[in-house]
Amino acid sequence: MLIRRPADTLPSEITPQAIYRDRREFLRAAGGLALAGGLGLTSDDVAAAKLANTRPGPYSTGEEMTSYKNITTYNNFYEFGTDKADPARTAGSLRQRPWTVQVDGLVRRPGSYDLDALLKLAPLEDRIYRMRCVEGWSMVIPWVGYPLHELIRRVEPLGSAKFVEFTTLADRAQMPGVHAPVLHWPYTEGLRLDEALHPLTLLAVGLYGETLPNQNGAPVRIVTPWKYGFKSAKSIVRIRFVEAQPESSWMRAAPREYGFYSNVNPDVEHPRWSQAKERRIGEFTKRKTLMFNGYGEQVAQMYSGLDLRKFF
Ligand code: MTE
CATH number at residue 126: 3.90.420.10
Tell me the whole-structure pTM to 2 decimals. 0.87
In a domain, residue 220? The reply is yes
* pLDDT computed for residue 1 by the predictor: 66
Protein residue whose Cα sits closest to atom 14 of ligand 1: 230
- What domain count does the chain have? 1
For residue 278, give its domain range. Answer: 6-303
In a domain, residue 115? The reply is yes
CA of 223 to the centre of ligand 1 (A): 10
Task: Specify the DSSP class assigned to residue 184.
Answer: P
Contact 26, 42 (CB under 8 A): no
In a domain, residue 311? The reply is no
Q: Is the CB of 235 under 6 A from ligand 1?
A: yes
Q: Is the CB of 187 under 6 A from ligand 1?
A: yes
* pLDDT computed for residue 37 by the predictor: 32
* pLDDT computed for residue 48 by the predictor: 86
CA of 272 to the centre of ligand 1 (A): 19
Q: Is the CB of 262 under 6 A from ligand 1?
A: no
Pairwise CA distance, residues 218 & 233, whole Å = 11
In a domain, residue 208? The reply is yes
Q: What whole-number percentage of the chain has pLDDT above 90?
A: 85
In a domain, residue 269? The reply is yes
CA of 229 to the centre of ligand 1 (A): 6
Cβ neighbours of residue 181 closer than 8 Å, sequence gap 6 or more: none
* pLDDT computed for residue 33 by the predictor: 32
pLDDT < 70: residue spans in the chain: 1-47
CA of 111 to the centre of ligand 1 (A): 26
CA of 138 to the centre of ligand 1 (A): 13
In a domain, residue 309? The reply is no
In a domain, residue 245? The reply is yes
In a domain, residue 310? The reply is no
Half-sphere exposure of 194 (CA within 13 A, CB side): 7
Strand residue runs (E) in 91-149: 100-105, 111-114, 125-132, 137-147
Protein residue whose Cα sits closest to atom 4 of ligand 1: 77
